[in-house]
Amino acid sequence: MKYRISHPTKKLHGTITLTASKSESNRALIIQALCNEGFTINNLATANDTKILQQILNRARVSKTEGVYNVEDSGTAMRFLTAFFATKPGTHILIGSERMKERPVGILVKALRDLGAQIEYIEKEGFPPVKIIGKILTGTGVEMDGNVSSQFISAVLLISSELPNGLVIKFRGDVTSQPYVNMTLKMMEEFRVYGQWHDQYISVSQQKYHKKNDPYYSFEVESDWSSASYWYAIAALSKDADFTIKGLKHPSLQGDAIVADIFTFFGIKTEYVTGGIHLTKIKSKTEHFGYDFSDCPDLVQTIAVVANALGTSALFNGVHTLRIKETDRITALKNELNKLGAEIKIINDNSIELFPKPASTDLNTPNLIINTYNDHRMAMAFSALAMQFDSIVIDQPEVVKKSYPDFWEDLKSVGFAIEEL
């Protein structure tokens, strides 16, 4: 399936209520499963990743001691559940898609084994699928490189309530995506498990999750700042923007809230209003753009598309984790921006440079098809080009279900035309 996307006025006006954060939702679900006191999660994400995690946790509550669980293409579910099941008695097998078999989990498995976990690789060493024989983990200390995926760190932190001797995670080097680790710690604090940052390690003493002493307590999930980034891109490439996004907070637990600051460079002003944010256009800058995305790697594709469309050369640092996402995002980005005349230079594993050709130099592109590589962020990032081209064709548009299932409907609600091909 393909979608042809266009916008007749190229102006972004209106209001949407943004989809909920899958990052907060997935952490909340693990805490809920580990908490002895029941509580409600409000505004749970409808993202496929969250649905998969919730379904598996619900199944696990019933089967308890054994099961084979398919995480499909959800890296978060694979990582969080590997840690979760390591603490639950019984035999648990996690399988996934073919792409999931290419996404490494060896760093996480080693850390869990250091805590006493019994985990076996079913096929290739260091990669899913895995067999987990859950038990009480009596270890206390693990050591990890700081530049690993933050989900490995968060997966271990979230099960600290199950460790009878507490937890210490020591880091070699600076921690990548530290805001996501901080999100995990803040959500743990909400349920009375307190972790403490030290210079090169995090410590968590033995504590159990407890909800607040309020009979009506529920946890409210914020809307998703990563998903907001696509609307920032659309606004930046529009002729005019007067747009409200409901559901976002300031300050936010989410590291991708930095998108509001980043997009001032590309001519978008953010006003924090009751219940959300309001976007308007200001003068964009024209000089070379450079940023370290170590703390917010999910923004790279979106900002690369915008920079190219505006003719702004750009240096992206902190991109080393993009190779092991839903696809090799650096290669995917390079391939699709090449179609637009841009050049991506790979400097090293952590840095790429963009030499653009502005999209506005050729508005008539009826045969241009953007491949998405089974990656939701490729589909949504490149959709912003409908504000500069006559139209843009997105292959496999259904991939957005992973994080933002209502994306195409939200586009339609503010004047985009979407034709199924």
For the annotated catalytic residues, the residue numbers are: 298
State how far the Cα of 15 lies from the Cα of 215, in Å rounded to an integer: 34
Residue 268 burial (CB < 10 Å; 0-12/13-18/19+)? Answer: buried
> Mapping DSSP to helix (H, G, I), strand (E, B) and coil, where does residue 67 land?
strand
Are 104 and 152 spatial neighbours (Cβ–Cβ below 8 Å)? no
State how far the Cα of 161 lies from the Cα of 220, in Å rounded to an integer: 21
Are 37 and 211 spatial neighbours (Cβ–Cβ below 8 Å)? yes
Question: For the chain, first and last CA: distance in Å?
Answer: 6
User: DSSP for 21-53?
Assistant: PHHHHHHHHHHHHH-SS--EEET----HHHHHH
Residue from 25, 32, 379 nearest 230 by CA: 379
Structure tokens at 107: 């760093």
Which element (helix H / strand E) includes 420?
Answer: strand 417-420
Structure tokens at 270: 């953010």
> Mapping DSSP to helix (H, G, I), strand (E, B) and coil, where does residue 374 land?
coil
Please calculate the CA angle 87-108-34 and round it to the nearest 5 degrees.
30
Please report, as a single letter, which amino acid is at residue 69: Y
